[in-house]
A and B are shown apart, each in its own frame.
Chain A
Amino acid sequence: MNIFGLTFEIWVVALGLLVLLADFWTPPAHKWRLGLASAWLLFIMLLVTWRASTNVSILTFSQSYVIDGLALFFKRFFFVAAILVLVMTVGFAEKLGTGLAEYCALTLFALAGMMLAASANHFAVLFVALELITVTFYVLVSFQRRCVQSLEAGVKYLIIGALSSGFLIYGIALVYGASGSLSFEVIAQKSASLADKPLFLLGLLLIFVGLGFKIAMVPFQIWVPDVYQGSPTPTTAFLAVGSKAAGFVLLLRLLQFVVPEVAAHWQKLLMVLAGLTILYGNLCAIPQRNLKRLLGYSSIANAGYLLMGVAAMTQAGSAAILYYLSGYLFTLLAAFTVIAIILQQTEVEDITALAGLNQRSPFLAAAMTLAMVSLAGVPPLAGFFGKFLLLKAVLEQGAANHAFYWLAGIAIVGVVISLYYYFGVIRAIYWSKDAGVLAPLPIAWTNRCALLVCMAGMLYLGILPNRLVELAAEAVKSLRLA
């Protein structure tokens, strides 16, 4: 037993509790400082993670908790996401009313859950981590309790969350029944012999369904647009980036470390799901006018692209997922920060709210344009390199299994469709006719900094990919893959 394995999680939870306590003594006008201070502290923790070595895996708590390259990569990922979300929250404070400190604390607890998920090496830990994330998000989603849409989103998320937990726990029970263990290490050792037990497979399938809800995979994506639209914007951002990434790290560890033999048989299923998810997300995004709803559908489509990397079942594919998610982090947070700023001024979430943005604030227009271009996967931004890596990983498998060529074809069709609606947003920014208000938009300095970080991140990952490609390749060495 090595309690130090949990250092980061303990710090984050302690920070959350500290914020809750400090709330008592902080006058309402200064509460935003709590959010900013916790963002700074998270940043210091992020720097500390570089003291940990990636090439040694540490197993602790009787092998139920692991710190390896993959876990560390995702812990850093979640730190960055949480820092940017907290900064966005500070800028969004007016809309959240008095509960700012609680909101920040809940974000920190969700962060702890995500970090736990990154290290889960046991089905019980997996479940606890996911519940920690989901339960905090129930509150975060319905935080604007005077707003009907927010409450509706909360109820929907609650019901769907409970359903997915049901699938998950039932699956875990079946897996335990078939294998006699919940430990990833133990199951991994005998996975080859378990691979033909129907009970075991059924259990795995149910767990896969449970995770499918988290990553918004078709046919378990139904909650996404409503919840994305109704939630407070920082919540939507954290849900889209953090919760999805947590789902993917668990999926990677489960399919590619615990049961790669089973996953190899499921390649066709994964491919079909990836293709459907890409097409569904992109096609449904076309008629959307609400920005957050549009990004909700786009997030479904992106889950599809990421699933292509899972389906490839190679180190290249998994490394591509890590790269894509990192680019997605900066891209999506930039987009949501801009939306949050605009929402402060106008109550409209429509694309029309962006009309004339180029005149109102060229800086915001540039940030939103970069975000859309990156989402569309156009050079020189992060989204392009991520899609490039995924496409390469998929085509690499094409020689062995020609179905992958079709998957690549669907991905391309998806990208072309997505260009239509992403560039529709750019059109609204630059030459929409119905520009009503042309007053300059004030931007808080915190938001300006967050946007600059996001833009720098998008450009850095798009133009100088070398460092992160190496980090991602290093991280996926913990998986049992070719």
Chain B
Amino acid sequence: MSILTTIFLIPLFAALLIALIPRNYRFVIRCVALLATLVAAALAVKMFFNFQAGQPGYQFEQIVPWVQSLGINWHVGVDGVNVGLILMGAIVAFAATCLSKEIQSREKEFYFLLLVMAGGILGAFASLDLFFFYFLHELALVPTFIMIGVWGYGERKNFATFQITLYLSLGALIALVGLIALYLAVPRPNQVPAGATFAGPPPGAVPITNAPPIIGGIYSLSVTQGQTYIWTKGTNDHALANGSLALLDSRPFVAATNFVLILGKTNAPVTALVQPPRTFDIPTITAAVRKTPLPLASQKFIFPLLLFGFGILVSLWPFHTWAPLGYGSAPTATAMLHAGVLKKFGLYGLIRIAIPLLPEGAKPWLHVLAWLCLGNILYCGWVAMRQRDLNLLIGNSSVAHMGFAFLGIASLSLIGITGTVLVMIAHGFLAALTFGLSGYLRQQLGTLEIGEMGGLLKKLPFIGTLLVMAMFAGCGLPGFANFPGELLVMFGAWKGLSNFVMVLAWGALIVGAIYALRAVRNILHGPLPERWAGVADAAGWWRKLPFALLLVCLLGFGVYPQMLVTKVEPGVAKVLKGEEIKPLPTGKRLPWLPVPMKKN
């Protein structure tokens, strides 16, 4: 079993185990959840460091046939694009479980749902099969709904619950139509076109052994898999269709969508063309599409479906309204997992599927995408400036950050998309950290109104410092993981998009700095209102651990981005160009990146 399958299964098995534990064993339930996510995170770290950058193909692969007639396989594997995402997802899941101490009622249900959500999303990122890719992402839908509804906060909780659920399922369903259309558009090998007529056996037809003599009556041929094309010679009014021979009317040699009706007579030899089923396997589809690109018409039809379907899932402007309110109402762990990990699914889908498989379909849309993501960066940044509630501010700023990720994709350049992957990983840690911190503040203060806070740094040195650092990271300060990502995205945008877009996006960084610094000033500095005199800082290493872990990741990947870039860049190059690009020699690396250490 691949380590990826293990990482995926551990949370799900833990969820099953929790379902069997009686509900008053609260401590045991929490321990099981913590242990499961810790093991998953540890395995993900191990997997990340065992990953060999620049190797062709996928690593830690596993293929198990699932539904053969439809071409669905359990196929997991990682390359540069998703290896960091899985690491990020597993670490955030562990941190979210640590911070779930705030849940004081119905813990059993909460941890069950949390683990299902975590397992699903880790599986979705690891999956190399279109079906499971979608299937596992949707596993999170119901947990999100119930978690926000039962353990959520705020007066508009009910509205937020339904809004996020309906909005996200609409996006997911649009993407599903796109994915199925993609699956159907990829031609099968030896496909007989619809309506084709033949004077003889179709090309590729092979004789069937033990064919029955074709004289009236109903026979059946045993054909093991896939659709069957059967050809017999003669003029009698019998036809073979899909393996069974039935009395049919006399339509000569007409290929319907997936089989050929062909007439047969007496003991003539029977020939059949057994077709392999279609496939949901992403590497197979990619290889087929590289060989013969999809027809332009289907590319133009499918790409917008995927763009807007996935776009809704990533809160692309103007489809972003579910995000701030939903995250504002959600319990801490849900917001951390959703904003940090789950939201990256749409971006990952665009990079892994939409851009490489539908390059021609993408072309007319990339400029639209560039303008829409300016909506994210500028409009949502502006909205974030006006927020009085810390969670809504963070929610809007997370939507604004997604704009940078989209900008990298819109640039369609190696450097830009590498930047997008870096932004995705960095923002995962950042969103989890900020939502975790605001969750802590809500627990201590009972409110998140920025106007009522002030001077909290005196009482909360640890949490306050982390909040300052998180806000700095959000501004794109060097030293945090967001900086290299956003910088690469800017390079990509410079290369691929008009300078106007570039300038506006650059200007938006200032907007980000304004709301972040204002929040720091209003929350942490100034006089301390008397009512907060009793507020306590995070005490004990176990309370500090999840925050520290996320910050270490942010700083680690910020100070030494090479760790990610060497892995991500070849993966993105493979996705974009279809071939492995060897990492650049050290001398020609981008100047700002530190030189990798030489191994002995």
Do the beta carbons of A395 and B181 come within 8 Å of each other? yes
Do the beta carbons of B165 and A412 come within 8 Å of each other? no
Q: Which among A25-33, A71-79, A235-243, A462-470 touches the partner chain?
A: A462-470
**Alpha-carbon distance A55/B145, docked complex (angstroms):** 46
Do the beta carbons of B258 and A314 come within 8 Å of each other? yes
Chain B residues with Cβ below 8 Å from A439 are none
Chain B residues with Cβ below 8 Å from A426 are 142, 145-146, 149
Chain A residues with Cβ below 8 Å from B246 are 480
Contact partner, A395, options B106, B161, B169, B184, Cβ 8 Å: B184
Do the beta carbons of A470 and B69 come within 8 Å of each other? yes
Residue B235 CB within 8 A of the other chain: no
Residue A163 CB within 8 A of the other chain: no
Do the beta carbons of A427 and B161 come within 8 Å of each other? yes
Residue A448 CB within 8 A of the other chain: no
Do the beta carbons of B142 and A395 come within 8 Å of each other? no
Do the beta carbons of B248 and A480 come within 8 Å of each other? yes
Known: A380-B135, A415-B169, A416-B169. A408 touches B177 (CB 8 A): yes
Mask of A439-482 contacts with B, CB within 8 angstroms, 1/0 = 00000000000000000000000000110011001000110101
Residue A400 CB within 8 A of the other chain: yes
Do the beta carbons of B162 and A395 come within 8 Å of each other? no
**Alpha-carbon distance A477/B134, docked complex (angstroms):** 30
Residue A61 CB within 8 A of the other chain: no
Do the beta carbons of A466 and B68 come within 8 Å of each other? yes
Residue A40 CB within 8 A of the other chain: no
Chain B residues with Cβ below 8 Å from A400 are 194, 257
Residue A222 CB within 8 A of the other chain: no
Chain B residues with Cβ below 8 Å from A395 are 177, 180-181, 184
Chain B residues with Cβ below 8 Å from A412 are 170, 173-174, 177
**Alpha-carbon distance A191/B170, docked complex (angstroms):** 43
**Alpha-carbon distance A419/B166, docked complex (angstroms):** 7
Residue B249 CB within 8 A of the other chain: yes
Residue A46 CB within 8 A of the other chain: no
Residue A352 CB within 8 A of the other chain: no
Mask of A134-157 contacts with B, CB within 8 angstroms, 1/0 = 000000000000000000000000
Q: Which residues of chain B in 82-113 are interfacial with respect to chain A, using CB atoms and an 8 Å cutoff?
A: 106, 109
Give the number of A-B contacts (CB < 8 Å): 109
Contact partner, B181, options A378, A380, A398, A415, Cβ 8 Å: A398
Contact partner, B177, options A191, A391, A396, A431, Cβ 8 Å: A391
Residue A282 CB within 8 A of the other chain: no
Residue A56 CB within 8 A of the other chain: yes
How near does chain B come to A77, taking the closest CB pair, in angstroms?
20
Q: Which residues of chain A in 388-439 are interfacial with respect to chain B, using CB atoms and an 8 Å cutoff?
A: 388, 391-392, 395-400, 408-409, 412, 415-416, 419-420, 423, 426-427, 430-431
**Alpha-carbon distance A431/B147, docked complex (angstroms):** 10
Do the beta carbons of B181 and A379 come within 8 Å of each other? no
How near does chain B come to A287, taking the closest CB pair, in angstroms?
15
What residue of chain A has the Cβ atom nearest to residue B161's Cβ? A427
Known: A56-B220, A465-B67. A427 touches B248 (CB 8 A): no
Do the beta carbons of A482 and B258 come within 8 Å of each other? yes
Contact partner, B162, options A373, A423, A431, A469, Cβ 8 Å: A423
How near does chain B come to A370, taking the closest CB pair, in angstroms?
9
Residue A57 CB within 8 A of the other chain: yes
Chain A residues with Cβ below 8 Å from B176 are 388, 391
Residue B562 CB within 8 A of the other chain: no
Residue B206 CB within 8 A of the other chain: no
What residue of chain B has the Cβ atom nearest to residue A56's Cβ? B220
Contact partner, B142, options A373, A416, A420, A482, Cβ 8 Å: A373
Do the beta carbons of B139 and A431 come within 8 Å of each other? no
Do the beta carbons of B165 and A419 come within 8 Å of each other? yes
How near does chain A come to B541, taking the closest CB pair, in angstroms?
35
Chain A residues with Cβ below 8 Å from B177 are 391, 395, 408-409, 412
Chain B residues with Cβ below 8 Å from A380 are 135, 139
Chain A residues with Cβ below 8 Å from B145 are 423, 426
**Alpha-carbon distance A367/B505, docked complex (angstroms):** 49
Q: Which residues of chain B in 117-155 are interfacial with respect to chain A, using CB atoms and an 8 Å cutoff?
A: 134-136, 138-139, 141-142, 145-146, 149-150
Residue B418 CB within 8 A of the other chain: no
Do the beta carbons of A384 and B138 come within 8 Å of each other? yes
Residue B31 CB within 8 A of the other chain: no
How near does chain A come to B594, taking the closest CB pair, in angstroms?
43
Residue A315 CB within 8 A of the other chain: yes
Q: How many residues of B contact A (CB 8 A)?
A: 50
**Alpha-carbon distance A384/B180, docked complex (angstroms):** 14
Known: A427-B149, A469-B67, A482-B259. A378 touches B180 (CB 8 A): no
Residue A14 CB within 8 A of the other chain: no
Chain A residues with Cβ below 8 Å from B259 are 482
**Alpha-carbon distance A373/B169, docked complex (angstroms):** 12
Chain B residues with Cβ below 8 Å from A189 are 247, 249
How near does chain B come to A311, taking the closest CB pair, in angstroms?
14
Residue A183 CB within 8 A of the other chain: no
Known: A395-B177, A416-B170, A482-B257. A379 touches B138 (CB 8 A): yes
How near does chain B come to A380, taking the closest CB pair, in angstroms?
6
Do the beta carbons of A396 and B173 come within 8 Å of each other? no
How near does chain A come to B163, taking the closest CB pair, in angstroms?
11
Chain B residues with Cβ below 8 Å from A465 are 67
Chain B residues with Cβ below 8 Å from A430 are 146, 149-150
Do the beta carbons of B106 and A473 come within 8 Å of each other? no
Do the beta carbons of B139 and A379 come within 8 Å of each other? yes
**Alpha-carbon distance A415/B259, docked complex (angstroms):** 32
How near does chain B come to A247, taking the closest CB pair, in angstroms?
25
How near does chain B come to A443, taking the closest CB pair, in angstroms?
17
Do the beta carbons of A477 and B138 come within 8 Å of each other? no
Residue B66 CB within 8 A of the other chain: yes
How near does chain A come to B70, taking the closest CB pair, in angstroms?
7
How near does chain A come to B298, taking the closest CB pair, in angstroms?
8
How near does chain A come to B285, taking the closest CB pair, in angstroms?
15
Chain B residues with Cβ below 8 Å from A302 are none
**Alpha-carbon distance A132/B220, docked complex (angstroms):** 34
Chain B residues with Cβ below 8 Å from A48 are none
Chain B residues with Cβ below 8 Å from A415 are 169, 173
Mask of B214-234 contacts with A, CB within 8 angstroms, 1/0 = 000010101000000000000
**Alpha-carbon distance A8/B27, docked complex (angstroms):** 55
Do the beta carbons of B169 and A469 come within 8 Å of each other? no
Chain A residues with Cβ below 8 Å from B158 are 427
Residue A124 CB within 8 A of the other chain: no
Residue B496 CB within 8 A of the other chain: no
Chain A residues with Cβ below 8 Å from B241 are 480, 482
Residue B545 CB within 8 A of the other chain: no
Chain B residues with Cβ below 8 Å from A396 are 184, 257
Chain A residues with Cβ below 8 Å from B150 are 430-431
Contact partner, A469, options B23, B70, B222, B242, Cβ 8 Å: B70
Q: List 6 A-B contacts (CB under 8 A).
A: A189-B247, A369-B142, A379-B138, A380-B139, A416-B170, A426-B145
Q: Given A423-B165, A427-B149, list of 6 further CB < 8 A pairs?
A: A378-B138, A378-B141, A392-B184, A400-B194, A420-B166, A430-B146
- 7 closest residue pairs by CB, A with B: A482-B256, A379-B138, A412-B173, A379-B135, A466-B67, A55-B220, A431-B150
